[in-house]
């Protein structure tokens, strides 16, 4: 029986405070070190063991010879386990830091570590305490059989985990599909593997189930992965045009790799649509849903701009009486809206009323989604835009390649007049801020007007000169203008380019 004295109580109090201080210090500082964090439990036990030893010494507590042997054995066991972890850190973790491709699976490391710990425990029991477990193990064959039969699933998962760690069909952080579950591998233990799905659900799959099923790894041997999507369009759409528009949409979708180039095939003549299959490559599987959404959204806008219709299924019957009169009324309403917009444009004010009506009947409508580029600075073009709905951002590339925001244009504003009238390359980049609808006037729509009214070109040149001078002032804030650029903005220079572009004779101004 241990007699409690003042020295004993004092030693117990001091050592308890020391252990609590160590625990606080470990949580606050030591956890920042990877090695000390990995041996946190053993380190705690070692400090606790040291406190007990000091308590026995300072408190003059006698525990007997057998107790001393147990204390020595516990110390040796803790020392051996610390040595095993230190050796593991030096041989494996340091090697991984120097060469990230070298990595020993955690499951294999755990098994080897605990096997060594068990062997050391057996030796300590045999040598220090004189306890021989061999006869016990030899006479427990029946118990071993019963336990093995009861634990066959556990053992099956254990050995399957060992095989998976040796073959390495996947690693922590890989995107995989296992048993119709797709997610990122977060952890792998001796019993099971945990993956986190796109819906942030954690799915735990036993290793034996994984070993028996097909594994699809989207991250190895490379992160580049092909995806396929099907889209249907009406029979009236020309296949070559559809394929071109789809490739254009793929090229404008963030996350789709330019190489290998996206492929498009016509794969089926269905009941109500021609089906096209799109194959494209990505290198970040975690963004697959965002990339596919971006592509499908781009397809809708690109199809809309190019007059390609995505049909309803034939089983969805929409009852609507469409007579020639209904069609004429719809066309007339559209032309009236277009004509009202055209009349409000100062650049088009000099045109005769008949020319404006003819132009309103010819203009087309294009729609763009937020973030899409309507025109790119430096690109060729021969069409002119009037913003019907939405807003666009005008930006200019400065002398050092930086993008400078020049203006924001809303409904009723125009851009691209020099491309329409002189075929010049775009002087700025125009991007949609939100969904944008624009009326488009192309060269072949405008050419008959100038052919019948040659003098109109001179009037248009004077109006454009004012706009060009304002544009040059904006450009001058980003870089120095050349003499040729300044002289080209005069009425005579603009008129000369218009005549050359449309092949007009030198009529009066």
Tell me whether residue 311 is in a domain. no
Binning pLDDT at 50, 70 and 90, where does residue 303 land?
very high
Res 486: pLDDT? 58
Tell me whether residue 81 is in a domain. yes
Rounded CA gap, 427 and 295, in Å?
Answer: 28
**CB-based burial of residue 224 (10 Å sphere; 0-12 exposed, 13-18 middle, 19+ buried)?**
middle
Do 494 and 365 share a domain, yes or no?
Answer: yes
Q: From 129, 150, 171, give the residue that closes a domain.
A: 150
Rounded CA gap, 256 and 298, in Å?
Answer: 12
What is the arrangement of strands in the sheet containing 364-368, beginning at the earlier edge strand?
A: 364-368, 436-442, 383-389, 414-415
**Most confident segment among 152-166, 337-351, 450-464:** 337-351
Rounded CA gap, 89 and 97, in Å?
Answer: 10
Task: Give residue 131's domain range.
Answer: 6-150
Higher pLDDT, 488 or 69: 69
Mean predicted confidence (pLDDT) in 112-134: 68
For the chain, the helix, strand and coil percentages under 3-state DSSP, each to the nearest 5: 50, 20, 30
Tell me whether residue 355 is in a domain. yes
Phi, psi of 470 (to 5 degrees): -65, -40
Cβ–Cβ < 8 Å for 283, 257: yes
Minimal CA–CA distance to 197: which of 170, 177, 171?
A: 177
Residue 218: pLDDT over 80: yes
Rounded CA gap, 121 and 73, in Å?
Answer: 9
Res 172: pLDDT? 84
Phi/psi class of residue 229: alpha, beta or left (left: φ > 0; alpha: ψ in -120 to 50)? beta
Tell me whether residue 206 is in a domain. yes
Rounded CA gap, 292 and 297, in Å?
Answer: 8
Do 176 and 271 share a domain, yes or no?
Answer: no
Phi, psi of 199 (to 5 degrees): -90, 15
Tell me whether residue 301 is in a domain. yes
Higher pLDDT, 290 or 502: 290
Residue at token pair 């194959």? 279
Do 194 and 61 share a domain, yes or no?
Answer: no
Residue 32: pLDDT over 80: no
Higher pLDDT, 351 or 64: 351
Do 67 and 202 share a domain, yes or no?
Answer: no
Cβ–Cβ < 8 Å for 261, 280: no
CATH of the domain at 244: 3.30.70.100
CATH of the domain at 420: 2.60.120.10
pTM of the model: 0.58
Do 89 and 180 share a domain, yes or no?
Answer: no
Do 392 and 484 share a domain, yes or no?
Answer: yes
Residues contacting 22, CB < 8 A, separation 6+:
47
Q: Quick check: helix, strand or coil at residue 366?
A: strand
Higher pLDDT, 198 or 11: 198
Residue 229: pLDDT over 80: yes
Cβ–Cβ < 8 Å for 167, 143: no
Residue 11: pLDDT over 70: no
Rounded CA gap, 417 and 194, in Å?
Answer: 60
Q: Quick check: helix, strand or coil at residue 408?
A: strand
Cβ–Cβ < 8 Å for 226, 281: yes
Do 424 and 465 share a domain, yes or no?
Answer: yes
**CB-based burial of residue 153 (10 Å sphere; 0-12 exposed, 13-18 middle, 19+ buried)?**
exposed
What tokens appear for 166 in the block?
Answer: 């040796």
Do 97 and 127 share a domain, yes or no?
Answer: yes
Residue 70: pLDDT over 70: yes
Q: Quick check: helix, strand or coil at residue 4?
A: coil
Rounded CA gap, 290 and 284, in Å?
Answer: 11
Res 263: pLDDT? 95
Mean predicted confidence (pLDDT) in 312-331: 68
Cβ–Cβ < 8 Å for 447, 502: yes
Res 2: pLDDT? 46
Residue at token pair 């005579």? 492
Tell me whether residue 508 is in a domain. no
Do 23 and 68 share a domain, yes or no?
Answer: yes
What tokens appear for 460 in the block?
Answer: 């248009």
Rounded CA gap, 180 and 183, in Å?
Answer: 10
Q: From 150, 170, 194, give the residue that closes a domain.
A: 150
Do 391 and 482 share a domain, yes or no?
Answer: yes
Residue 509: pLDDT over 50: no
**Most confident segment among 2-16, 21-35, 48-62:** 48-62
Tell me whether residue 297 is in a domain. yes
In sequence order, the β-bridge partners of residue 268 are 275
The share of the chain scoring above pLDDT 90, in percent, equals 18
Task: Give me the number of domains the chain comprises.
Answer: 4
Q: Give tens-digit pLDDT for 94-116.
A: 656 566 555 556 666 666 777 77
Mean predicted confidence (pLDDT) in 144-154: 54
Q: Quick check: helix, strand or coil at residue 235?
A: coil
Higher pLDDT, 85 or 261: 261
Do 111 and 77 share a domain, yes or no?
Answer: yes
Tell me whether residue 412 is in a domain. yes
Residue 508: pLDDT over 50: no
Binning pLDDT at 50, 70 and 90, where does residue 4 land?
low
CA 146 to chain CA centroid, Å, is: 52
CATH of the domain at 180: 2.30.30.60
Do 105 and 156 share a domain, yes or no?
Answer: no
Rounded CA gap, 439 and 364, in Å?
Answer: 6
The share of the chain scoring above pLDDT 70, in percent, equals 70
Residue 247: pLDDT over 50: yes
Cβ–Cβ < 8 Å for 390, 367: no
Residues contacting 93, CB < 8 A, separation 6+:
34, 35
- DSSP per position, 22-39: HHHHHHHTGGGSHHHHHT
Q: Give tens-digit pLDDT for 181-208.
A: 899 998 887 778 889 998 888 888 888 8
Residue 463: pLDDT over 80: no
């Amino acid at each position: 029986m241990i007699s409690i004295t003042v020295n004993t109580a004092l030693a117990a109090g001091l050592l308890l405070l020391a252990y609590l201080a160590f625990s606080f210090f470990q949580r606050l500082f030591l956890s920042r070190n990877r090695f000390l964090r990995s041996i946190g439990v053993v380190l705690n036990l070692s400090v606790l063991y040291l406190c007990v030893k000091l308590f026995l010494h300072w408190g003059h507590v006698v525990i007997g010879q057998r107790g001393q042997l147990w204390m020595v054995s516990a110390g040796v066991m803790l020392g051996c386990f610390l040595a095993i972890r230190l050796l593991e850190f030096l041989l494996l973790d340091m090697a991984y830091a120097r060469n990230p491709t070298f990595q020993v699976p955690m499951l294999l490391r755990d098994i080897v570590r605990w096997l060594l710990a068990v062997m050391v425990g057996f030796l300590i029991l045999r040598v220090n305490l004189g306890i021989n477990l061999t006869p016990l193990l030899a006479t427990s064959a029946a118990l071993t059989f019963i336990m093995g039969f009861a634990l066959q699933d556990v053992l099956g998962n254990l050995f399957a985990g060992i095989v998976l760690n040796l073959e390495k069909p996947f690693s922590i952080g890989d995107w995989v599909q296992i048993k119709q579950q797709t997610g990122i591998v977060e952890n792998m233990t001796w019993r099971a593997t945990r993956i986190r799905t796109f819906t942030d659900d954690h799915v735990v799959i036993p290793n034996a189930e994984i070993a028996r099923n097909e594994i699809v790894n989207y991250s190895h041997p490379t992160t580049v992965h092909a995806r396929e999507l099907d889209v249907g369009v009406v029979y009236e759409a020309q296949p070559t045009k559809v394929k071109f528009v789809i490739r254009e949409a793929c090229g404008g979708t963030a996350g789709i790799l330019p190489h290998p180039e996206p492929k498009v095939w016509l794969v089926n003549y269905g009941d109500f649509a021609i089906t096209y299959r799109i194959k494209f490559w990505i290198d970040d599987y975690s963004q697959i849903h965002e990339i596919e959404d971006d592509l499908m959204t781009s397809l809708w806008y690109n199809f809309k701009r190019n007059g390609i219709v995505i049909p309803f299924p034939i089983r969805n019957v929409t009852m609507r009486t469409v007579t020639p009169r209904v069609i004429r009324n719809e066309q007339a309403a559209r032309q009236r809206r277009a004509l009202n917009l055209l009349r409000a444009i100062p650049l088009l004010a000099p045109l005769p009323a008949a020319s404006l009506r003819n132009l309103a009947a010819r203009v087309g409508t294009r729609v763009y989604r937020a973030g899409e580029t309507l025109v790119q600075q430096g690109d060729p073009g021969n069409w002119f835009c009037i913003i019907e709905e939405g807003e666009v951002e005008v930006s200019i590339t400065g002398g050092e390649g930086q993008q400078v925001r020049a203006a924001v244009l809303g409904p009723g504003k125009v851009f691209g007049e020099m491309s329409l009238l002189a075929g010049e390359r775009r002087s700025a980049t125009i991007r949609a801020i939100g969904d944008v609808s624009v009326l488009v006037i192309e060269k072949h729509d405008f050419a008959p007007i100038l052919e019948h009214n040659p003098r109109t070109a001179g009037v248009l040149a004077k109006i454009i000169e004012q706009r060009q001078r304002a544009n040059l002032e904006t450009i001058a804030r980003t870089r120095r203008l050349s003499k040729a650029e300044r002289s080209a903005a005069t009425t005579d220079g603009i008129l000369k380019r218009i005549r050359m572009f449309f092949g007009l004779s030198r009529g009066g101004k």
